[in-house]
Amino acid sequence: MDIDNKLWQFSVAFYAQPGVAEKLLTLQNEHAVSVNQVLFGFWLASENQALTGLPAETDKAAKWHQQVVAPLRQIRFWLKQQRTDEQLKIATVDCYRQLLEAELATEQVELAFLFSNSIYYSAAAGPGNALRSLALQNINFCIENRAQSTADHQSNDAHRNTLVQTLLDKYCLMHPKVEE
């Protein structure tokens, strides 16, 4: 499995753009949309591929996310909540940083699973398919197929759509010859 693949390289470059990380994390935390799946959808559009499926619970990417990424993220979130106590905050700063680095490493593995199996989750887009439209189609596929979530995550479609449009704008900046 290639850890430093084109999907990873795209993800790092896209995530580093101003405001992208914040928007992606808001989509994930408030609307139950997987950051890695959104990054996968954007990358596939760059490759002129339409997203046609996402990992089933039995796929390696989904198992990895459920068994490794999600529990590690939960531990990190719990530790962050405990940091209101000043002594605990001081004592756990390094631990929190290491958990964050470990979480990123586990997400890189998840993206490697998606990359290595991308042919099972995508199909070539038709000729003349505008990049922005294809990217939006892929992201909407991620949103529509996300795991069942609470009513809180599903309640504010307008907010979610604003986040998606902002991300699309940032994505198109990476591709200067984008047709609208």
Q: What is the pLDDT of residue 176?
A: 65
Question: What is the model's pLDDT at position 148?
Answer: 45
Buried b (16+ CB within 10 A) or exposed e, 25-37: ebbbebbbbbbbb
pLDDT digits (tens, 9 = 90+) for 55-96: 887 789 999 999 999 999 999 988 888 767 777 778 888 888
* Average pLDDT value for the chain: 88
Check residue 177 and give its pLDDT.
Answer: 57
Is pLDDT of 16 > 60?
yes
The predicted pLDDT at position 91 comes to 80
| pTM across the whole model | 0.87
Lowest mean pLDDT among 35-44, 118-127, 147-156, 158-167: 147-156
Find, among 70, 93, 61, 63, the residue nearest to 80 by Cα. 93
Report the pLDDT averaged over residues 159-165.
92
